[in-house]
Amino acid sequence: TTPECYNCGSKNAFMLGFIPAKSDTVVVLLCRQPCAAISKDISWNTALWAPLIEDRSFLSWLVTPPSEQEQLRARQITYAQINRLEDLWRENASATLEDLEKPGVDDEPQPILQRYEDAYQYQNIFGPLVKIEADYDKRLKESQTQDDVVVRWDQGLNQKRIAWFNFPKLESGEVRLAVGDELRLRYHGDSHHAWEGSGHVLKIPNNISDEIGLELRRNDGVPVDCTHGFSVDFVWKSTSFDRMQLAMKTFAIDEKSVSGYIYHKLLGHDLEPTILRTQMPKRFSAPGLPELNHSQMYAVKSVLQKPISLIQGPPGTGKTVTSASIVYHLAKMNPGQVLVCAPSNVAVDQLTEKIHSTGLKVVRLTAKSREALESSIAFLTLHRQVAAYTSHTELQKLIQLKNELGELSQSDERKYKTLVRNVEREILAAADVICCTCVGTGDPRLSKLKFRTVLIDEATQAAEPECMIPLVLGCKQVVLVGDHQQLGPVIMNKKAARAGLTQSLFERLVLLGNRPIRLQVQYRMHPCLSEFPSNMFYEGTLQNGVTAPERLRKNVDFPWPVADTPMMFYQNLGQEEISSSGTSTEASNVEKIVTKFFKAGVVPGQIGVITPYEGQRSYIVNYMQYHGTLKKDLYKEIEVASVDAFQGREKDYIILSCVRSNEHQGIGFLNDPRRLNVALTRAKYGVVILGNPKVLSKHPLWHYLLTHYKEKQCLVEGPLNNLQPSMIQFSKPRRTLNKSMEQFRRHDYSDAEATSGAPVLNDARRGSASAFESNFYRTHDPLGYIPSDVQSLKSSASGLPHFGAAASFGPSKQKASAGQKRATYASYASSIISQDVAGAPGGTDASSVAGSQFEHNGIIVFSQSDRIRRRNSFTSMAGTSDIGSMSTFDYKSQDSVIDADDSESQYAHSVQSGVTEF
């Protein structure tokens, strides 16, 4: 029998507990929140509630522990086997450990490469990974059926029926639900004949309500008189995966899909540095946008001259303004439309708004499922512009008729759709800029258009095949904007993740020696908050565009340990219940800190609580509402979300709940440097971290963070009204994961870098940065940049970096023949680049920045080459080329250096190797 909550039916064992009932031999199972907190049965003493799980085991009276003899006969299993078995259960619920030993179960897909011989090899490697992820996503979503759903009915302004209901299975965090997703609602009760209907999600759960809003496609026969007896399941759509596969196929077979130069750059081939022939603007700031600072201006100038550019935007550095300025100049300088995209709708909307403020004609293309949503840029959406197209009277009459009657006759409907398509084409053709998601660029409405220039924002959060969708629409100039020191793509399937699908195109290009232009002035954080991220993740290069007085709120009376330093690590030593829902002690402390902020005059919308796990998020939300000392509505407005949900956003104050607080377990994916970077850089005015220093300090990254807080006298304990410096002794950190990083030398900045505001390779380093050294990437680890001397963290943000040095590449062990083949190929490839690209004779570094000081002895214009000749010539030239094997990214080697304590985390196998130094 599966234990479940007596009140709500929840089967989440980590949330369940018990209280004694009318006799000592009878107990009632209740979930901790909200049922145990709000139970009104006077015969139950909810104060006696206790969890079913204690010390990582079910209570002995519920599950009898094995005897010593049984344990001797038992088979020892590892965390890795448990993880594999859990994956197998998604395909076969009755799978056992014996099934793990069957042939084919452990077959791993071919890992990604850094360089590819041609687009066919590229497709043959990425195609299977996309299919694996698609199959996994399909199985996962289609298995998430929720029975016994209670529905509340409503009707929207468009007269469509809206069903409101709870979906408890979302709390597991395994399924991601987004606005626009399609769900199916079924009725199996006795009060109405069997019925089913599908619709799109209008609203997802938040702090104010746990309800999902589902707008039905059709109103026919909807059982609006019934509220019980419903079930909900996902309607899986393959659209996004199909578009990725089609893009990779197009890349391989259509020679006009991208320019020759872009083609070879995407495959990782070495090419001569080039600049585009263009008339540079006199002023780089765009109308309607803030004036650009030096590094932003340098980024805009450099991008306009190059066929492929990477811009790294650390937190708060004005990445969106810079991107909008770039788009403005690209639209003014080049014919046709600029295609602007990002992996998420939120990022696209933000960039659309900024671009519109420059005065350009912008069209926001959305999926049909999102057309009913309201937003600040809704008037820019294609369907709204069609509806407002007053010059077409016949279409206006049909729109009015459809709004009045709800539907049209068959003939009128056909005429309506034809007119809409014609008007859509007119609007798109007249636009300067078209904005949509990366997957949205595969919309059939864009299939006839060619986009010479493409900008992809948040490119580091998109899987590489996702970025290919916009690029194969005729791209000759591409700008990738992101930050590979923040979160990467979310890949659900572990095999695909281990094979490298979690590595973005942006990151792969960085690994190949393409040096991003980094924005260097941050305008978000109080200087004390930016110091650690700058030194730890950006080699001390971040400068502060805001002063300490500008980020200190005199009227907020919060007990910061140091008056002018709004940061605090609040020691939490409460024993953690081993559960997906976190620690009750820590949740209590979150509520106390939030209440303190309220009393200090901070409004709820200015506070964000970051927690790693969905279960902890749900528990904190419920705990604050039922145990908070102030009005319940105040706590409802506090945003509690995962690190992922906060990426790209900011709050005045951030509370980071670290959850892990026991000696048995590790800290899960909080040990990911990029995840910690995002968490620490969301706040403008202050950060409070809650956690157990004894546990966290075992990990090198957190050891440095704790040392930083302790040196700042911001590591404290005790009640909030009487905080005292913590005297806790840190645990000895485990060894840095990569011993070989000790061999790497520091990066010495050249004079050109000091004057230009961006890194430029000097002659001594050109060869090592552009050459691919596979052994480096097999051993490199994100934690490798942690210095052996913690004093280096004290470096000034504007001074030279004390760590994060570029690798001192050892002597190449590659065979001479392989080097000759690559040299021959590079020479050949440089002769077939796009007709719009000018070569720069004498240069050898494909990644050097093209600045105003770059001199040319002459301009050579090359014609578009035939794709088949290009491929055949390379094949015949390379023979048995070992480029593929040479550049294989060995993800498997990472498994041996991951802490065993963290192997149960779903992110344990997605520790990314990446070049973090510039």
Band of pLDDT at residue 660, cut at 50, 70 and 90: low
Give the span between the Cα atoms of 829 and 81, in whole angstroms: 46
More confident residue, 224 or 408: 224
Task: Name the packing angle between helices 673-680 and 700-711 (round to 10°).
Answer: 30
Query: Do residues 635 and 594 touch, judged by C-beta distance below 8 A?
Result: yes
pLDDT tens digit sequence for 14-55: 778 888 876 667 888 888 777 776 655 556 777 788 888 887
SS3 128: helix
What is the per-residue pLDDT for 406?
67
Residue 819 belongs to some domain of the structure = no
Closest CA to 444 of 702, 242, 170, 708: 242
What percent of the chain clears pLDDT 90, i.e. is strictly above it?
44
- For residue 836, pLDDT beyond 70: no
Closest CA to 606 of 556, 677, 571: 556
Give the span between the Cα atoms of 391 and 225, in whole angstroms: 44
Give the span between the Cα atoms of 167 and 183, in whole angstroms: 11
SS3 804: coil
Do 179 and 243 belong together in one domain? Answer: no
Task: Give the rounded distance of the alpha carbon of 405 from its chain centre.
Answer: 43
What is the per-residue pLDDT for 398?
85
Query: Do residues 130 and 241 touch, judged by C-beta distance below 8 A?
Result: yes
Task: Name the packing angle between helices 700-711 and 527-537 (round to 10°).
Answer: 150
- For residue 901, pLDDT beyond 80: no
- Which of 53-57, 128-132, 214-218, 810-814 shows the lowest mean pLDDT across its residues? 810-814
What is the per-residue pLDDT for 289?
97
Closest CA to 182 of 156, 216, 155: 216
Show which of 725, 756, 791 is a domain's final residue.
725
Closest CA to 914 of 315, 479, 472, 310: 310
Mean pLDDT over 712-739 rounds to: 84
Residue 829 belongs to some domain of the structure = no
Q: Give the burial string for 445-469 (b: 16+ CB within 10 Å, else e).
A: ebeebebbbbbbbbbbbbbbbbbbb
Place of tokens 């899987």: 463
Q: What pTM was computed for the model?
A: 0.76
Give the span between the Cα atoms of 261 and 516, in whole angstroms: 18
- For residue 897, pLDDT beyond 70: no
More confident residue, 462 or 769: 462
Structure tokens of 679?
């968490």
Do 381 and 455 belong together in one domain? Answer: yes
Do 261 and 346 belong together in one domain? Answer: yes
Residue 731 belongs to some domain of the structure = no
Domains held by the chain: number: 5
pLDDT tens digit sequence for 733-792: 876 544 333 332 233 333 333 333 333 333 333 333 333 333 333 333 333 333 333 333
- Identify the CATH number of the domain in which residue 174 sits: 2.40.30.230
- Which of 129-143, 459-473, 759-773 shows the lowest mean pLDDT across its residues? 759-773
Do 65 and 55 belong together in one domain? Answer: yes
Residue 258 CA: distances (Å) to CA of 341, 429, 835, 869: 17, 21, 12, 16
Residue 642 belongs to some domain of the structure = yes
What is the per-residue pLDDT for 845?
33
What is the per-residue pLDDT for 173?
54
What is the per-residue pLDDT for 636?
87
Give the span between the Cα atoms of 671 and 498, in whole angstroms: 18
Band of pLDDT at residue 572, cut at 50, 70 and 90: confident
Do 544 and 471 belong together in one domain? Answer: no
SS3 218: coil
Query: Do residues 362 and 352 touch, judged by C-beta distance below 8 A?
Result: yes
Mean pLDDT over 468-485 rounds to: 97
For the chain, helix (H) and strand (E) counts, in that order, are 30, 30
Q: DSSP letters of 249-296? A: HHHHH-TTSB-HHHHHHHHT-----EEE-----S--SPTTSPPP-HHH
Residue 734 belongs to some domain of the structure = no
Show which of 228, 258, 274 is a domain's final residue.
228
What is the per-residue pLDDT for 855?
32
Give the span between the Cα atoms of 446 and 514, in whole angstroms: 30
**Start-to-end Cα distance in the chain:** 58
Task: State the alpha helices, DSSP H only, in 305-431.
Answer: 319-333, 345-356, 382-387, 393-405, 410-430
Q: Please name the amino acid found at residue 432.
A: D
Sign of torsion over alpha carbons 810, 815, 818, 823: positive
Do 438 and 509 belong together in one domain? Answer: yes
Residue 144 belongs to some domain of the structure = no
Place of tokens 């990467």: 488
More confident residue, 35 or 197: 197
Band of pLDDT at residue 667, cut at 50, 70 and 90: low
Band of pLDDT at residue 189, cut at 50, 70 and 90: confident
Do 214 and 256 belong together in one domain? Answer: no
Give the span between the Cα atoms of 80 and 86, in whole angstroms: 10
Mean pLDDT over 168-191 rounds to: 77
pLDDT tens digit sequence for 512-558: 999 999 999 999 999 999 999 999 999 999 999 999 999 999 889 99
Band of pLDDT at residue 207, cut at 50, 70 and 90: low
Show which of 725, 758, 778 is a domain's final residue.
725
What is the per-residue pLDDT for 364?
97
The listed range with the strongest mean pLDDT (264-268, 876-880, 897-901) is: 264-268
- For residue 245, pLDDT beyond 90: yes
Q: What is the Rg, in whole angstroms, of the alpha carbon atoms belonging to the chain?
A: 29
Closest CA to 533 of 516, 484, 525: 525
Mean pLDDT over 573-587 rounds to: 54
What percent of the chain clears pLDDT 70, i.e. is strictly above it?
74
- For residue 870, pLDDT beyond 50: no
**Segments forming the whole domain that contains residue 259:** 239-391+422-521
Do 296 and 329 belong together in one domain? Answer: yes
Largest CA distance in the chain: 94
What is the per-residue pLDDT for 892?
33
Do 479 and 570 belong together in one domain? Answer: no
What is the per-residue pLDDT for 175?
63
Query: Do residues 86 and 907 touch, judged by C-beta distance below 8 A?
Result: no
More confident residue, 703 or 402: 703
Closest CA to 473 of 774, 321, 246: 246
Mean residue pLDDT of the chain comes to 77
853: burial class by Cβ within 10 Å (0-12, 13-18, 19+)?
Answer: exposed
Do 354 and 472 belong together in one domain? Answer: yes
What is the per-residue pLDDT for 190?
84
Do 456 and 326 belong together in one domain? Answer: yes
Pair type for strands 567-571 and 607-610: unpaired
- Which of 159-173, 218-232, 380-394, 855-869 shows the lowest mean pLDDT across its residues? 855-869
Give the span between the Cα atoms of 150 and 154, in whole angstroms: 13
What is the per-residue pLDDT for 642?
86
Residue 886 belongs to some domain of the structure = no
- For residue 424, pLDDT beyond 50: yes
pLDDT tens digit sequence for 248-275: 999 999 999 999 999 999 999 999 988 8
- For residue 203, pLDDT beyond 90: no
- For residue 639, pLDDT beyond 60: yes
Q: Give the burial string for 894-904 (b: 16+ CB within 10 Å, else e).
A: beeebeebbbe
- Identify the CATH number of the domain in which residue 259 sits: 3.40.50.300
Residue 174 CA: distances (Å) to CA of 87, 140, 543, 665: 12, 8, 39, 21
Closest CA to 151 of 97, 187, 109: 187
Residues in the chain, how many? 918
Structure tokens of 322?
């810079």
Give Cβ neighbours of residue 681 (< 8 Å, ≥ 6 apart): 314, 315, 316, 524, 525, 529, 530, 533
Band of pLDDT at residue 670, cut at 50, 70 and 90: low
Q: Please name the amino acid found at residue 520.
A: Q
- For residue 381, pLDDT beyond 50: yes
Residue 746 belongs to some domain of the structure = no
More confident residue, 517 or 794: 517
Pair type for strands 274-276 and 837-839: antiparallel
Do 251 and 295 belong together in one domain? Answer: yes
